[in-house]
Amino acid sequence: MHFLRYIPVIGILLLSLLCGGCGRLQPPVAASYYYWKTVYNPDSAEQSAIRNVGANRIFVRIMDVDNQGRNGEAIPVSAVSFANPLPDTLDVVPVVYIVNNVLKEQSADQLEVLAANISRFVSGKLKQAGKRGFDELQIDCDWTATTRDNYFTLLDAIRTHISDTVRLTATLRLHQVRNLRSSGIPPADRVLLMCYNMGNLRQYGDHNSILDLGEMEVYLKDFLSEYPLPVDIALPLFSWSVVFRNHAYAGISKRLNPMLLSDTAIFAPHGGTSLYRLKTTLPDAGLRKGDVVRREETRWEDLSAAADFLAKHKRKEEFTLLFYHLDSQLLKVFSNEQLQEIVYRF
């Protein structure tokens, strides 16, 4: 019979189809967003973005911890408030940002108290969110060599205050992936690699301090796959205008409409770079004539290049991919398909 002759061909075709259809056989990527505002109240665009990436968890910043107490003691700052309880389909992963200064000159007892306070506060806030508990707690801290030991002690203390089933995650910056000896490895279950704000924000120049592939190569290329803890990834969605006055860093202008940058009557571009010089004063944005604005943007091309790089150099394991951060303005820049595509790159 002549159709039997085609069985091997069909078989190979089917196989390749199947394999092609599945893509590479990868472990799952759980995508989600950071929620970094002080009132949890996502609008419809934001809610649909959550659904769009198939997120069943959202990473909410619960509070900063900073030495703003009356006697200089560490207290919660700008704690989130939940306008409404979250739907049952969406879990909360609480994130606590700890200012590095808080960890200086703390005794073990003080760290113990701090850990207890943090744990209690987080639980209280989760209740307001309508959640009984949490599966994961993320601590965000840019620790340094001097605060390293105290920070790790704090993490240990926090662990004793949370349930055994809760995963403890610590954020990591690029250089901390490479410089294991000086940075140490935090006593956490996982780490979250923040793939943004990797360059030097305050340095004058036309680099992009948010996302810089060169920097990623330096710190991650040979080291990411060696990192001893499971690694989650966070990618940026944001852009901003960095202002320099007389070549000195003057801040990030929140009130500058980026559309104005292309108005040559107002701004003089430095050909081909991301720098723009102000020709007049813009009082509404708090800018003076002669100020130089570096427009740092996260474009989809950079994002996908970063995703490809990370996919290549990362260990093949389950992980969470986070976008920083959930905001309808930012979502206008990226379409649903684009974001889904980023997820699929892994």
The CA distance from 11 to 294, in Å, is 57
What is the distance between the alpha carbons of residues 329 and 99, in angstroms, rounded to a whole number? 27
C-beta of 206: minimal distance to another protein in Å? 43
Closer CB to another protein, residue 40 or residue 267? 40
Under rule CB under 8 A, residue 309 binds another protein: no
The label of the residue with tokens 């852009």 reads 239
Closer CB to another protein, residue 71 or residue 246?
71
Query: What phi and psi values does residue 226 have, to the nearest 5 degrees?
Result: -90, -5
What part of residues 32-51 is at the interface with another protein (CB under 8 A)? Answer: none
The contact mask relative to another protein for 53-72 (x = CB under 8 A, - = no) is ----------------x---
Instruction: Name the minimum Å distance from CB 295 to another protein.
Output: 36
Alpha carbon distance 79, 43 (integer Å): 20
Query: Identity (one letter) of the amino acid at 57?
Result: R
Nearer to another protein, 79 or 213 (CB): 79
Q: Which of 42, 76, 186, 199 is in the footprint of another protein by CB under 8 A? A: 76
Residue 113, number of CB atoms within 10 A of its CB? 15
The CA distance from 157 to 117, in Å, is: 11
124 binds another protein (CB under 8 A): yes
- The single-letter code of the amino acid at 76 is P
125 binds another protein (CB under 8 A): yes
Closest CA to 59 of 190, 155, 218: 190
What's the token pair of residue 211? 């996302």
Choose between 114 and 285: whose C-beta lies nearer to another protein. 114
Element (H, E) at 39: strand 39-40
118 vs 237, beta carbon nearer another protein: 118
Total chain residues near another protein (CB under 8 A): 15
Among residues 130 and 214, whose Cβ is nearest to another protein?
130
User: How far is residue 36's CA from residue 161's CA, in Å, rounded to a whole number?
Assistant: 24
CB of 75 closer than 8 Å to CB of 113: no
What is the distance between the alpha carbons of residues 94 and 169, in angstroms, rounded to a whole number? 10
- The least CB distance from residue 81 to another protein, in Å, is 5
Establish if 121 lies at the interface with another protein (CB under 8 A).
yes
Examine residue 190 and tell whether it contacts another protein (CB under 8 A): no
C-beta closer to another protein: residue 43 or 73:
73
Select the span of 48-56, 78-86, 157-165, 212-220 touching another protein (CB under 8 A).
Answer: 78-86
DSSP H helical ranges for 81-208:
108-128, 148-161, 174-178, 180-183
Binding-site member from 16, 41, 48, 81 for another protein (CB under 8 A):
81
CB of 75 to another protein, least distance (A): 4
117 binds another protein (CB under 8 A): yes
User: Are 280 and 266 spatial neighbours (Cβ–Cβ below 8 Å)?
Assistant: yes
Using the rule CB under 8 A, is 123 a contact of another protein? yes
> Is the Cβ of residue 119 or residue 208 nearer to another protein in the bound state?
119
**Cα–Cα distance for residue pair 42/328, rounded to 1 Å:** 9
Which residues in this chain contact another protein in the complex, by CB under 8 A? 69, 75-76, 79, 81, 83, 117, 120-125, 127-128
